[in-house]
Amino acid sequence: MIIAEGIYKSFDDIHALEDVHAEIKKGSVFGLVGTNGAGKSTFLRVMAGILKPDRGKITIEGEDVFENTAIKERFFYISDEQYFFPNATPEEMAQYYNKIYRKFSFEQFHHLMANFSLPEKRKINTFSKGMKKQLSVILAMSAQTDYIFCDETFDGLDPVMRQGVKALFAAEVAERELTPIIASHNLRELEDICDHVGLLHKGGMLLARDLDDMKLNIHKVQCIFKDTKAKTKEDWPGLEIINMEQRGSLYTMIARGEEHEILKAIQLLGASFYEILPLTLEEIFISETEVQGYDIKKLLV
């Protein structure tokens, strides 16, 4: 488990992180979202022990991270600005990481390199941005660490490779309780893989929640009424309607409350058709942040 308590980090007069609290459970996929400049990369670097917080503490499995060689062997950090040795090949980088990570698996390295159709003996400086991202993920997986910190890892990957990397993460989480922490500015990029999400805004953790818990009391419903009179939020006095849209006779709304209570209210109004729809991660976050006076659409555009 990773616990961040009251993390502050400044660079001169720039406050990158301000009182950040987070708890990341082992075996979960934690998505860290926010606009450029929100503090995502800084938080990952503090978590990885690259930067020392000005105040506060981050622990992994109860141990401080900064200058702790033993605990650093338990995670792999994939930077947004990847670095490989000049003129190195993937095979040579694997040899290097084998000296750092005692559990490094050459068997998995060769297997994944073949699956991703990457040449092991070709100079990495001839790789495309997407190929370098794939190689970083392969090296991280081969290191067999308990945690992987990913900074914009999907950026630069084509749609097929994105799904391939996500499938790889999911398999490792299921097989050995790997815990990926994935930073991204794109909510839609994370919604099909993450089960916990934190929203950073202006250096502070605006929200950190389990997605299943967030979905318990919020529902998206589509319904059609025979009555052509336009419906407003006031027509559902017993419901907390967060958002409602009308297109002809079709209404789509997001409401808080128990599912049976929402459906009962719709039935009482004489709906001729209704159904519960799955919520997107963006819709869930909109509901949570609007309560706190924020417009997530402005935060993440």
Tell me, what's the pLDDT at 131?
93
- pLDDT of 136 reads 95
Separation CA 207–CA 278 (nearest Å): 21
Q: Give residue 50's pLDDT.
A: 94
User: Domains of the chain: which residue ranges?
Assistant: 2-211, 216-299
Lowest average pLDDT, out of 123-127, 176-180, 239-243, goes to: 239-243
Q: What is the pLDDT of residue 298?
A: 56
In this structure, the strands spanning 55-60 and 2-11 are antiparallel
What mean pLDDT is predicted for residues 156-167? 88
Give the pLDDT confidence score for residue 271 in this predicted structure: 85
pLDDT band at 297 (very low <50, low <70, confident <90, very high): low
* Pair type for strands 55-60 and 63-64: antiparallel
Residue 235 pLDDT > 60: yes
Can you give the pTM of this predicted structure?
0.79
pLDDT at 301: 47
Is residue 201's pLDDT more than 90? no
CATH number for the domain whose boundaries are 2-211: 3.40.50.300
Strand partners, 24: 2
The model's pLDDT over 125-146, given as tens digits with 9 standing for 90+, comes to: 999 999 999 999 999 999 999 9
What local confidence, expressed as pLDDT, does residue 291 receive?
54
The pLDDT score that the predictor gives to residue 59 is 94
The pLDDT confidence band at residue 290, using thresholds 50, 70 and 90, is low
Res 36 pLDDT > 80:
no
pLDDT at 149: 96
More confident: 107 or 187 = 107
| Stretch 143-155: mean pLDDT | 92
Residue 181 clears pLDDT 50, i.e. is over it: yes
The fold of the 216-299 domain, in CATH, is Alpha-Beta Plaits (3.30.70)
CB 181 within 8 A of CB 65: no
3-state secondary structure the chain: CEEEEEEEEEECCEEEEEEEEEEECCCCCEEEECCCCCCHHHHHHHHCCCCCCCEEEEEECCEECCCCHHHHCCEEEECCCCCCCCCCCHHHHHHHHHHHCCCCCHHHHHHHHHHCCCCCCCCHHHCCHHHHHHHHHHHHHHCCCCEEEEECCCCCCCHHHHHHHHHHHHHHHHHHCCEEEEEECCHHHHCCCCCEEEEEECCEEEEEEEHHHHHCCEEEEEEEECCCCCCCHHHCCCCEEEEEEEECCEEEEEEECCHHHHHHHHHHCCEEEEEEECCCHHHHHHHHHHHCCCCHHHHCC
pLDDT of 296 reads 56
Exposure class string for 253-276: b at 16+ Cβ within 10 A, else e: bbbebeeeebbebbeeeebeebee
What pLDDT, in 10s, does the model give residues 204-216? 887 787 877 777 7
- Hey, which residues does 149 pair with through a beta bridge? 77, 181
Predicted local distance difference test score (pLDDT) of residue 300? 52
The whole-number pLDDT of residue 294 equals 56
| Percent with pLDDT over 90 in the chain | 49
